[in-house]
Amino acid sequence: MNDTHEIAIQGIGGSPGICIGKAYLVDKEGVDVVRQYYLFDKDLSEEIERFKRAVDKASQELDAIISSLSGDYQEQLFILETHKLLLKDKKLYENTCKYIESNHINAEWALKKVSGNIKQTFQQMNDPYLSERGSDIGHVTDRIMHNLIGGKNHEQIRDINKRVILIAKDLSPAETSQIQLHKIQGFITELGGKTSHTSIIARTLQVPAVLGVNHATDIIKSDSIIIVDGTKGVVILNPSEESLIAYEEKKNMFERRRKSMMRHSELSAKTPDGLEKKVMGNIELLEEVVSVLDHGGDGVGLYRTEFLYMAKNELPSEDQLFENYKEVVDLMFPKPVTIRTLDINGDKPIPEMYEKSETNPVLGLRAIRYCLKRPAIFKTQLRAILRAADYGTVRLLFPMISGVQEIIAAKTLLDETANELTKEKVPFNRNIDVGMMIEVPSAAILSDMMADYVDFFSIGTNDLIQYTLAIDRGNQDVAHLFQPLHPAIIRMVKTVSEAAHKKGVKVFMCGEMAADPFHVPILLALGIDEFSMNPPSIPAVKSMIRKVNTKSMEPFMKKILEQRSPNDVIQVVQDHYGDIFQETINF
């Protein structure tokens, strides 16, 4: 095969956007990641010391280089001296120490965040001299990071001096969330699907990604120029001059669209006939609250709370959980925060918490099943949530409920917890909305009964589709069958919505189905009361809602319900709303 021939490979669009750049192949061990982990109070001062030692070492390294350079290298000497000063710059040095302390987070992650903010500030400046200082911060950060991470991985990291496109067999959700954004333009993996957690995190980070590219690590060469179109799920190897120009233009257009969408993100999502829908953000970390607000979110519709449980060997204490939840609630105030109780195991495994490895983890001891088996762990979290609820608008959400007995058991433990807090005279608020995820088909089928026990349902389509259609959400080989507009899924959502509304129970959707503007007309017609999604998707969904008239949708819905395949459903939506999509989502 001619090596310079342009090749387009179809994968799965994991995260929209386009990037053009050099490929960088990594094996699993070589990923340029900054691990992120939670620290307990007792470990904070040692972590700050570790950071300071890494800075001191970087300073000594610079001294050694400076003394080895002769006077012929005046300019380099000047740069290195500047770097030395930057190492102890208040904004970088002190803020990183503070960040470690206030967020209980490891030094690498704190440094990444703090330096990212400084760089962004510099880069936004019009003065080319000042904007160049952003790259000095990058060099200094790399040097400190090298000392923090250590080890052989850094030999590869050091070689990267341009922003690259990462090519890997697989990236776990943890790795994806730890990618150093300033070095990664986008990524391509062989494994993974559209609603795998890797994709969800890529969308949250706004990094274009194509997943499920068979043999990517065999056919893409390091350093070759490639194009990643995360919107269409296409990767182009050996791009021709024309393709490079065309994609550069598409990339600019995408970025212009995204910016223009952002300009209207604060507007409420009110349909032309005056129906207002709340559009909320899904978060996994405290710091993502900012992103929800920046993208015009009306609150947090799903707080995935697993992160605090990822610390090694120790479970978080009630106070640690409480502080974290309270901060989210404070930052969002007065907007609501929906805190979901632990949804561990399944595809978000926390190895330390496995009692034994499971053959079928997604069908195993996950989420509410785990919590009901470990009431002490569960109650600790419930106490923290009820206490945080005293500071704002909190809703409590139980995951993976599959039948009436489970929701009763969960609520019984909630009541017991509230009684204990009352006895102990600890301030809390039990007067909160309590809801359950509809993500197991049995719960959807029984939704008329389940509605007797909750204030709201939140439909988790990522799992609901996985379990209803028997499609592993993270398996690229069946990703084409993961179809939110499958007639069975539409019927199921309809069943849930009707059953709930009959009993005055609200129906929210927090699965990724809610994040696609193309689904908005159907979801409005099905009566979804509130949408929640990865924050960057909020503006487009709001914009779409503002364009769909919900009066007289019956003929459209009738037609939809007659369709026998996802493609036929798509066609009907296209026929009715094609024009609106054209102007809203066709980046």
The entry of Mg ion, ligand PEP, none that residue 304 binds, CB within 5 to 8 Å by partner kind? ligand PEP
The entry of ligand PEP, Mg ion, none that residue 295 binds, CB within 5 to 8 Å by partner kind? none
Q: Are strands 225-229 and 18-25 parallel, antiparallel or unpaired?
A: antiparallel
Task: Find the shortest distance in angstroms from Cβ 237 to Mg ion.
Answer: 35
The entry of Mg ion, ligand PEP, none that residue 484 binds, CB within 5 to 8 Å by partner kind? none
Among 217, 461, 476, 483, binds ligand PEP (CB under 6 A): 461
Which residue number, 239 or 460, has a Cβ lying nearer to Mg ion? 460
Interface with ligand PEP (CB under 6 A), residue total 10
The residues of the shown chain that bind Mg ion, judged by CB under 5 A, are 439, 460, 463
DSSP 341: P
SS3 label, residue 422: helix
Contact, 83 vs 62, CB < 8 A? yes
Among 12, 211, 396, 510, binds ligand PEP (CB under 6 A): 510
Task: Find the shortest distance in angstroms from Cβ 287 to ligand PEP.
Answer: 18
Which residue number, 265 or 483, has a Cβ lying nearer to Mg ion? 483
Q: How many residues does the chain have?
A: 587
CA distance 9 to 17: 16
Which residue number, 196 or 217, has a Cβ lying nearer to ligand PEP? 196
The entry of ligand PEP, Mg ion, none that residue 511 binds, CB within 5 to 8 Å by partner kind? ligand PEP
Cα distances (angstroms) measured from residue 320 to each of 40, 370, 384, 391, 564: 8, 21, 8, 16, 50
Task: Find the shortest distance in angstroms from Cβ 195 to ligand PEP.
Answer: 7
Task: Find the shortest distance in angstroms from Cβ 303 to Mg ion.
Answer: 13
Which residue number, 185 or 468, has a Cβ lying nearer to ligand PEP? 468
* DSSP assignments along 222-236, one per residue: TT-EEEEETTTTEEE
Please state, as a whole number, how many other Cβ atoms lie within 10 Å of the Cβ of residue 78. 10
Contact, 277 vs 545, CB < 8 A? yes
- Residues annotated catalytic, as ranges: 197, 510
Torsion of CA 129, 131, 136, 140, to 10 degrees: 150
Find where tokens 């250590």 sit. 150
Only one of the segments 11-19, 101-109, 459-467, 477-485 lies at the binding site for ligand PEP (rule: CB under 6 A); that segment is 459-467
Asked if 511 is part of the footprint of ligand PEP (rule: CB under 6 A), the reply reads: yes
The entry of ligand PEP, Mg ion, none that residue 133 binds, CB within 5 to 8 Å by partner kind? none
SS3 label, residue 507: strand
Q: Would you call 562 exposed, middle or buried from its count of C-beta atoms within 10 A (0-12, 13-18, 19+)?
A: exposed
Which residue number, 298 or 347, has a Cβ lying nearer to Mg ion? 347
Among 47, 142, 298, 463, binds ligand PEP (CB under 6 A): 463
Asked if 343 is part of the footprint of ligand PEP (rule: CB under 6 A), the reply reads: yes
Cα atoms found within 13 Å of the Cα of residue 243, Cβ hemisphere only: 19
b/e map 105-133, b = 16+ CB within 10 Å: bbbbbbbbbbbbebbeebbeeeeeeeeeb
Among 299, 460, 527, 536, binds ligand PEP (CB under 6 A): 460
Cα distances (angstroms) measured from residue 509 to each of 1, 435, 498, 512, 513: 48, 12, 14, 8, 8
The entry of Mg ion, ligand PEP, none that residue 338 binds, CB within 5 to 8 Å by partner kind? none
Find where tokens 């949408």 sit. 531
CA distance 181 to 163: 9
Which residue number, 96 or 381, has a Cβ lying nearer to ligand PEP? 381
Select the residue whose beta carbon is closest to Mg ion and give its number: 463
The entry of Mg ion, ligand PEP, none that residue 474 binds, CB within 5 to 8 Å by partner kind? none
Which residue number, 108 or 439, has a Cβ lying nearer to Mg ion? 439
Task: Find the shortest distance in angstroms from Cβ 345 to Mg ion.
Answer: 12
Asked if 175 is part of the footprint of ligand PEP (rule: CB under 6 A), the reply reads: no
Which residue number, 23 or 533, has a Cβ lying nearer to Mg ion? 533
> Tokens at residue 205, please?
């980070």
> Tokens at residue 452, please?
């007797």
Asked if 230 is part of the footprint of ligand PEP (rule: CB under 6 A), the reply reads: no
Task: Find the shortest distance in angstroms from Cβ 96 to ligand PEP.
Answer: 30
Contact, 225 vs 22, CB < 8 A? yes
Asked if 439 is part of the footprint of ligand PEP (rule: CB under 6 A), the reply reads: yes
Asked if 462 is part of the footprint of ligand PEP (rule: CB under 6 A), the reply reads: yes
Give residues with Cβ within 8 angstroms of 556, minimum separation 6.
Answer: 521, 525, 572, 576
SS3 label, residue 312: coil
DSSP 168: E
Binding site for ligand PEP (CB under 6 A): 302, 304, 343, 439, 460-463, 510-511
